């Protein structure tokens, strides 16, 4: 199963999600690897420094391959990743400032994913009981992609995960990641 994680906007949480999903699937006993297609190579650096996650090797096969992509909608690497993928995750904050880029990203996903139904929106950095936190459904409608029921909250633990990997997360944050991983597995 090949999964592309994308958003044309920088800082949406693509690399954080890629690394944490790899941790969750590994924890569940799956043979998972990450393909870092972002020339900034953040995922590769985080993975080498603080985790035991595999980086994808040419010629190897895996149960699950997670592709981290660059924050650019005109990138051939993004298009290529989508064309090779079974599923795509559009990760976005629930902020109106991210709406346009997410709409544009949704368009590119639908044009390039072989099965355009296999895309879901994942809200990241959600703050419960705020106005934006209550607007998730209407934002998903405006973006035009069905959303996962679960989301990732804004938590400092997710920032620490870049340095410390899975061990930065407590039970609550691991549960959030597991719930998202389950939704992806069953999509």
Ligand X SMILES: Nc1ncnc2c1ncn2[C@@H]1O[C@H](COP(=O)(O)OP(=O)(O)OP(=O)(O)O)[C@@H](O)[C@H]1O
The reply to whether 42 sits near Mg ion by the rule CB under 5 A is yes
Among 9, 14, 120, 147, binds Mg ion (CB under 5 A): 14
Among 152, 168, 169, 184, binds ligand X (CB under 6 A): 152
Please choose which of ligand X, Mg ion, none residue 10 contacts, taking the beta carbon within 5 to 8 angstroms, the exact cut-off set by kind: ligand X
Among 23, 67, 121, 162, binds ligand X (CB under 6 A): 162
Span of 14-22, 82-90, 105-113, 135-143 interacting with ligand X by CB under 6 A? 14-22
The reply to whether 155 sits near ligand X by the rule CB under 6 A is yes
Span of 38-46, 82-90, 127-135, 141-149 interacting with ligand X by CB under 6 A? 38-46
> Per-residue contact track with ligand X, 57 to 96, x per CB under 6 A?
--------------x-------------------------
Contact assessment for residue 121 and residue 102, using Cβ atoms and an 8 Å cutoff:
yes
Q: Which is nearer to ligand X, 37 or 87 (CB)?
A: 37
Please choose which of ligand X, Mg ion, none residue 16 contacts, taking the beta carbon within 5 to 8 angstroms, the exact cut-off set by kind: ligand X
Q: What is the 3-state secondary structure (H, E, C) of the chain?
A: CEEEEECCCCCCCHHHHHHHHHHHHHHCCCCEEEEECCCCCHHHHHHHHHCCCEECCCCCCCCEEEEECCCCCCCHHHHHHHHCCCEEEEEECCCHHHHHHHHHHHHHHHHHCCCCCCEEEEECCECCCCCHHHHHHHHHHHHCCCECCCCCECCHHHHHHHHHHHHHCCHHHHHHHHHHHHHHHCC
Query: Maximum Cα–Cα distance for the chain, whole Å?
Result: 48
**Which chain residues interact with ligand X by CB under 6 A?**
10-16, 38, 40, 42, 71, 124-125, 152, 154-155, 158-159, 162
């Amino acid at each position: 199963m090949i999964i592309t994680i994308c958003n044309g906007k920088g800082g949406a949480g693509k690399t954080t999600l890629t690394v944490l999903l790899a941790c969750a699937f590994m924890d569940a006993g799956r043979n998972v690897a990450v393909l870092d297609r972002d020339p900034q190579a953040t995922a590769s650096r985080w993975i080498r420094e603080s985790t035991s996650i595999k980086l994808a090797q040419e010629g190897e096969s895996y149960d699950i391959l997670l592709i981290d992509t660059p924050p650019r909608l005109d990138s051939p690497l993004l298009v290529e990743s989508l064309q090779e993928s079974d599923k795509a995750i559009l990760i976005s904050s629930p902020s109106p400032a991210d709406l346009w880029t997410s709409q544009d990203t949704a368009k590119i996903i639908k044009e390039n994913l072989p099965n355009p139904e296999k895309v879901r929106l994942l809200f990241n950095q959600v703050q419960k009981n705020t106005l934006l936190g209550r607007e998730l459904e209407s934002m998903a409608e405006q973006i035009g992609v069905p959303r996962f029921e679960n989301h990732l909250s804004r938590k400092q633990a997710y920032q620490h995960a870049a340095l410390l990997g899975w061990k930065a997360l407590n039970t609550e944050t691991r549960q959030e990641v597991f719930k998202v991983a389950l939704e992806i597995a069953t999509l």
